Structure 1
């Protein structure tokens, strides 16, 4: 995978996310307690790099410019989640968790949608495009909630109302993904590129 100025944005998102977790764990932030951040500091970077590495494996040797903008969209929800815990926004703002599930899934599936549907021609069937993006988002929302169930319920932390919270989070995540599907469809049908700020050579995807 070739490095370019466009890579600065996703790389910056990754670095800031890791630094926030390192600082929070080192200082011993109370807002990190019981949230599985010892595991997250390993899992989050792996998840953030999974999509770029998968893209690179598929396109290796083809000389194609990586879609840095889409990568940044996929990575940003992890930064938002860590920042929310770093600033203790989950406890200070009642609606923060719900807002996160809606917005983060929108950003995540916007990025994934641009990768799955890389051209105008790939969205020839609009309904299928939106349904695919929404469906992937729903699946990822379920997998995420399974992970939270393991961390919180198994550890005996935040178990009150966990089931109701899980259902709500899955609905919000799916709604965010559906919105992302509509955005992907609209941008691809207009042929609009996703450009990384400050990089005029940023690719279409």
Structure 2
């Protein structure tokens, strides 16, 4: 089931990105750097499968991690395609919170799965730090890709502070999810014969 959902999400993302490239005349794609997103977001659909193919081809594929990595890009692209960023005033804020939950969860699941065990507080801190750093990088990329010199530049500072706050809250949520899941997994392993 998870495999099918993961593959469907990849197909949906690529389809939505191609739709944006084919229909750049639609207002929801204006000034959104959709050609750049085709390549950068498209990488999210193939990066983990390629890495897995090279490094761990005999191990079971981590569909949950892959789906969590892909989810923020799919949600963002779907929001643009449906013009939700323009039509629903709070949609951008909701996406900053919601997108950072699966993003940080993917990182935390990968740490829990592949890194040496760390205390829960350290796992929480690593996941939270990953979320904070990657969101700062995201905001920088947004600024240089389509905000600088555009109509949003005058209000970008206030918007960016709100985006950073909401994404940090999403990162906290993702870190809590991973920490609680890791605690349950460790407890289950300790009680197993």
Band the TM-score falls in, shorter-chain normalisation: 0.7 to 0.9
2-structure distance, mates of 1:55, 1:142: 27
Change in Cα spacing, 1:93 to 1:20, as seen in structure 2 (3 Å) is: same
What's the offset of the Cα at 1:97?
0.6
Correspondent of 2:46 among 45, 49, 69: 49
Gaps of 5+ in 2: 187-193
Structure 2 counterpart of 1:174, from 168, 171, 175: 168
Deviation at 1:6, TM superposition (A): 4.6
Greater fraction helix: 2
Give the conservation status (yes or no) of the 8 Å contact 2:12–2:74: yes
Deviation at 1:7, TM superposition (A): 3.4
**Could you say which residue in structure 2 is the equivalent of 1:126?**
120
- The answer to whether 1:74 aligns with 2:84 is no
Partner of 1:112: 107
Count of aligned positions: 185
Runs of 4+ in 1 over 6 A off after TM superposition: none
Rate the CA distance shift 1:56–1:129 in 2: closer, same or farther, 3 A: farther
Unaligned 5+ segments in structure 1 are: 193-205
Deviations 1:95-124 (A, max 9, x none): 1111101110001111221011118x825x
**Larger deviation, residues 73-82 vs 148-157:** 148-157
1:191 paired with 2:179, answer no
TM-score, normalised to structure 1's length?
0.82
Aligned to 1:16: 12
Aligned residues: CA RMSD: 2.2
Within 1, Cα distance between the matches of 2:127 and 2:133? Answer: 10
Relative contact order higher in (CA < 8 Å, ≥ 6 apart): 1
Residue 35 of structure 2, aligned match among 35, 38, 51: 38
Partner SS for 1:94: coil
Q: TM-score of the superposition, structure 2-length normalised? A: 0.86
